[in-house]
Amino acid sequence: MIQVEERKQLFLGLHDLKPILEPQSVAVIGASRQIGSVGHAVLSNLLMGQFTGVVYPVNPKARSICGVRTYQSVLEIPDFVDLAVIIVRANLVPQVLEECGQKGVKGAIVISAGFKETGPEGAKLESKVKEIAQHYDIALVGPNCLGVINTDPNYRLNASFAKEMPLPGNIAFVSQSGALCTAVLDYAKGQGIGFSKVISLGNKADVNENDFIAYLWQDHHTQVILLYIEELSNGRKFLQLAREITGEGDNRKPILALKAGRTPAGARAVASHTGSLAGSDEVYEALFAQAGVLRADTVEDLFEYAVAFANQPLPNGKRTVIITNAGGPGIMATDACVRYGLDLAQLDEKTLEQLRSKLPPHASLQNPIDLIGDAQSDRYEAALDAVLDDPNVDAILVLLTPQAMTDIENIAYTIVKKSKRKVKPILACFMGLVDISSGVKVLEENGVPCYSFPEDAIRALAAMARYVDWVRRPRTGYKVFPVDTERARKLLSEAPISEHGFIPEEIALRVLEVYGLPMLPWGVAKNADEAVLVAREIGYPVVLKVLSPDVVHKFDLGGVQLNLKNDDDVRQAFEKIMNSVKQHIPNARIEGVLVQAMAKKGREVILGLKRDPQFGPILMFGLGGIYVEVLRDVTFRFAPVRELGAYRMVRDIRTYKLLEGVRGEPPADIDKIVECIERLSQLAIEQDLIEELDINPLIAYPQGEGAVVVDVRIMVNR
């Protein structure tokens, strides 16, 4: 848990959203008499939604709209105004906003489109709007958004042009796409899903998702936060905030995110849509993992997870029991458990006894518990009683297929009754659509999420189990190694830079040495004689590598000679390197060679660091060679990385088994690899001149025997 001081830090720079979400008076600037227009819809929605404060329509041409008196401008309103909802043409927005500033308005929602999304002209207009908002300290949502909705009965604010007020509920939905809000509101209406807040972010000129998640964290009407995101405005801040919101304190809340533009082609579409480029998907994957944000693949998943979190207690673990009245769907659910990482609970002997005494002899008592096709509510009740008390059961899925005599509604009421105990999550899956609908209604109205197919329910339970894993993870700290930071900075700031942006390898090696990464003995030599002297000092066998700012792919150009066993080898290798490099690049400036001890064989891994322009330094880990090239089997985390995070980077690659040792090989020194990642993390944070860094390979030896850096490249940006 963070300290008070740190928490203050967390909220620093965030907007106060009270004027937006809890206003007492709202001006609708651009309200219109024309039914069907956005300017009419917003005003009418505020009125029909029974806003608890006062609404002031602003329209210089009308006397009243919807029977409410209008004003010529916001300045004329004879009252204070908390929130201005602006629906005027884009080019008029700056002037209107100026007036709001003069009036002392503290919140604005700019619904009007015609800004950044339309091109450079619009972007300029948007900057102007942003400046005005900052000048007057107005929290501004949008432009180009649908508006916001707060179902809190103290406000009942529908400041949007969405058709109608959703049901109240404990789910908050924050979306970068306004159209998705309308679709989601319609979907939710059909499913009986309620919301605490619905937020359309629009172009995020000023207020962004970070302001809202911080607000929603403190909002006691909100229990689950849903995000639809195309790109984050400030990924670093998001990471800090989301990590606290999802994982810390009694007030923690799950955040579920749908990130669109996931794939390269998808990302292109994002760019053409909002005029801003999305970060690559790996970056977001790392971000969400590190922030404890659960990622959904589709809108459907997002809401299927949300209703589980919003209505049911969290499970204590992954051990799931399936209660069913039909074998086939039970098998599907079992398949899904395995696919999504849940365990099938092994029922306690007491449970089995209890089931045996209450269920017919043909019923299958093993998990899935098959109550047989003619099961009525008494069998469901018996099974639920037994598994709710079973210490080996963490979560429950109740399946029903509508068979000849199944009393669906009655079974639904039984499930509801049992779920009131609130000790374990109970999800239902009533398969079908028509006959089962009355039962589904009973469940949904009473807080038992009901899914159409077993796989959906299991996926939701798996999401809950993942969240519990996150909440309960061991807390580790950031390690800080004693390091001569200044010396490294000096090395990096004074090193010559090649035309490709790299610093010389010998300086890169020194920087790593400063940060305590495990190195092979090495030295630099200008000629063959020097090389021999250095080699003798290091001890044979050695490796020679050309030092030249003009040679990037030194291996390919014969600039590296391996496994040199004696003085002669070194001399010959030196000549070979000089000849080969000169042959390929006649004008190459050659500064000599690097002489390095030849590394013993071991397991090759790679470590990397890249400074993302938006997100800052991100670390990479993977197995070396073809595992990276062919399988792209790497993991990412943002620096600084905690000890547990560094471990997870290593453990989460698909080929982790290789590090644990296969075919009788000893396990690799994973502790040492983790330490290297942590040292690299510190380097990333402290040395912001570094743009990119690749250690490829780091050779890891068996457990307890360490690891060594073999090759390193550092790109700097000064």
According to CB under 8 A, which residues from 528 to 587 bind its own copies? Answer: none
In the complex, minimum distance from the CB of residue 430 to its own copies, in angstroms, rounded to a whole number: 9
Cβ proximity to its own copies, 3 vs 272, nearer residue: 272
In the complex, minimum distance from the CB of residue 18 to its own copies, in angstroms, rounded to a whole number: 28
When binding is defined by CB under 8 A, the residue of 63, 79, 272, 613 that contacts its own copies is: 272
When binding is defined by CB under 8 A, the residue of 112, 176, 561, 682 that contacts its own copies is: 176
Cβ proximity to its own copies, 329 vs 523, nearer residue: 329
Residue 582 is which amino acid?
Answer: K
693, β-bridge pairs: 609, 714
CA nearest neighbour of 438 among 403, 405, 413: 413
The answer to whether 200 touches 181, Cβ cutoff 8 Å, is yes
Helices (H) and strands (E) in the chain, counts: 25, 30
**From 47-55, 327-335, 347-355, 494-502, span contacting its own copies (CB under 8 A):** 327-335
Q: What token pair was written down for 333?
A: 């659910």
In the complex, minimum distance from the CB of residue 340 to its own copies, in angstroms, rounded to a whole number: 11
When binding is defined by CB under 8 A, the residue of 29, 38, 125, 283 that contacts its own copies is: 38
Sign of CA dihedral 118, 124, 128, 134: positive
Question: Is residue 635 near its own copies by the rule CB under 8 A?
Answer: no
218 CB neighbour count, 10 Å cutoff: 11
In the complex, minimum distance from the CB of residue 495 to its own copies, in angstroms, rounded to a whole number: 29
In the complex, minimum distance from the CB of residue 339 to its own copies, in angstroms, rounded to a whole number: 6
Coil vs helix vs strand at 616: strand
Cβ proximity to its own copies, 151 vs 682, nearer residue: 151
Full strand arrangement of the beta sheet holding 139-141? 54-58, 25-29, 83-86, 107-110, 139-141
- Measured CA to CA, the distance from residue 524 to residue 123 in angstroms comes to 53
- Kindly write out the interface string for residues 458-497 of this chain, putting x where it contacts its own copies by CB under 8 A and - elsewhere: ----------------------------------------
285 CB neighbour count, 10 Å cutoff: 15
Q: Measure the CA dihedral 96/102/104/106, to 10°.
A: 40
- Measured CA to CA, the distance from residue 544 to residue 542 in angstroms comes to 7
- Kindly write out the interface string for residues 8-37 of this chain, putting x where it contacts its own copies by CB under 8 A and - elsewhere: ----------------------------x-
Cβ proximity to its own copies, 208 vs 681, nearer residue: 208
**From 47-55, 330-338, 477-485, 520-528, span contacting its own copies (CB under 8 A):** 330-338
In the complex, minimum distance from the CB of residue 332 to its own copies, in angstroms, rounded to a whole number: 5
Q: What token pair was written down for 605?
A: 């891994």
User: According to DSSP H, which parts of 83-167 are helical?
Assistant: 93-103, 120-135
**From 63-71, 325-333, 494-502, 587-595, span contacting its own copies (CB under 8 A):** 325-333
Residues 116-155 binding its own copies (CB under 8 A) are: 118
Residues 251-270 binding its own copies (CB under 8 A) are: 260-266, 268-270
CA nearest neighbour of 260 among 296, 234, 294, 224: 296
- Measured CA to CA, the distance from residue 17 to residue 201 in angstroms comes to 13
Q: What token pair was written down for 366?
A: 């093993």
The answer to whether 165 touches 150, Cβ cutoff 8 Å, is no
- Measured CA to CA, the distance from residue 110 to residue 288 in angstroms comes to 29
Cβ proximity to its own copies, 203 vs 311, nearer residue: 203
Cβ proximity to its own copies, 208 vs 687, nearer residue: 208
451, β-bridge pairs: 429
Question: Is residue 403 near its own copies by the rule CB under 8 A?
Answer: yes
Cβ proximity to its own copies, 220 vs 663, nearer residue: 663
- Kindly write out the interface string for residues 640-679 of this chain, putting x where it contacts its own copies by CB under 8 A and - elsewhere: --------------xx-xx---xx----------------
Q: What token pair was written down for 709?
A: 């850096």
**From 329-337, 379-387, 558-566, 606-614, span contacting its own copies (CB under 8 A):** 329-337
Residues 419-458 binding its own copies (CB under 8 A) are: 431-437, 452-453, 455-456
In the complex, minimum distance from the CB of residue 144 to its own copies, in angstroms, rounded to a whole number: 10
The answer to whether 399 touches 451, Cβ cutoff 8 Å, is no
- Measured CA to CA, the distance from residue 139 to residue 205 in angstroms comes to 10
When binding is defined by CB under 8 A, the residue of 326, 386, 457, 674 that contacts its own copies is: 326
**From 367-375, 484-492, 594-602, 698-706, span contacting its own copies (CB under 8 A):** 367-375
In the complex, minimum distance from the CB of residue 243 to its own copies, in angstroms, rounded to a whole number: 26
Coil vs helix vs strand at 638: strand
- Kindly write out the interface string for residues 337-366 of this chain, putting x where it contacts its own copies by CB under 8 A and - elsewhere: xxx----x-----------------x-x-x
What's the angle, vertex CA 457, arms to CA 454 and CA 648, rounded to 5?
120
What's the angle, vertex CA 564, arms to CA 560 and CA 569, rounded to 5?
100
Question: Is residue 190 near its own copies by the rule CB under 8 A?
Answer: yes
When binding is defined by CB under 8 A, the residue of 99, 219, 244, 370 that contacts its own copies is: 370
Cβ proximity to its own copies, 222 vs 334, nearer residue: 334
In the complex, minimum distance from the CB of residue 87 to its own copies, in angstroms, rounded to a whole number: 12
Cβ proximity to its own copies, 117 vs 206, nearer residue: 117
- Measured CA to CA, the distance from residue 699 to residue 707 in angstroms comes to 5
Cβ proximity to its own copies, 322 vs 597, nearer residue: 322
In the complex, minimum distance from the CB of residue 365 to its own copies, in angstroms, rounded to a whole number: 10
Residues 294-323 binding its own copies (CB under 8 A) are: 297-300
Total number of residues that touch its own copies (CB under 8 A): 88
In the complex, minimum distance from the CB of residue 586 to its own copies, in angstroms, rounded to a whole number: 23
The answer to whether 28 touches 39, Cβ cutoff 8 Å, is yes
- Measured CA to CA, the distance from residue 265 to residue 435 in angstroms comes to 42
Q: What token pair was written down for 162?
A: 């969405």
Render 308-373 in DSSP notation, one character per residue: HHHHSPPPSSSEEEEEESSHHHHHHHHHHHHHTTPEEP---HHHHHHHHHHS-TTSB-SSSEE--T
Question: Is residue 167 near its own copies by the rule CB under 8 A?
Answer: no
The answer to whether 702 touches 646, Cβ cutoff 8 Å, is no
Residue 270 is which amino acid?
Answer: V
When binding is defined by CB under 8 A, the residue of 49, 254, 279, 329 that contacts its own copies is: 329
Cβ proximity to its own copies, 150 vs 334, nearer residue: 334
The answer to whether 85 touches 27, Cβ cutoff 8 Å, is yes
Residues 227-246 binding its own copies (CB under 8 A) are: 228, 230
Cβ proximity to its own copies, 92 vs 423, nearer residue: 92
In the complex, minimum distance from the CB of residue 375 to its own copies, in angstroms, rounded to a whole number: 11
In the complex, minimum distance from the CB of residue 325 to its own copies, in angstroms, rounded to a whole number: 7
Cβ proximity to its own copies, 570 vs 659, nearer residue: 659
In the complex, minimum distance from the CB of residue 330 to its own copies, in angstroms, rounded to a whole number: 6
Give, in order, the Cα–Cα distances in Å from 141 to each of 32, 45, 121, 208, 276.
Answer: 21, 18, 20, 8, 17
Question: Is residue 501 near its own copies by the rule CB under 8 A?
Answer: no
Reading phi first (left if > 0) and then psi (alpha if -120 to 50, else beta), residue 60 is in: alpha
What is the DSSP-derived secondary structure letter of residue 652? T
Cβ proximity to its own copies, 369 vs 512, nearer residue: 369
Residues 6+ away with beta carbon under 8 Å from 536: 567
Residues 56-95 binding its own copies (CB under 8 A) are: none
Residues 593-632 binding its own copies (CB under 8 A) are: 625-626, 629-631
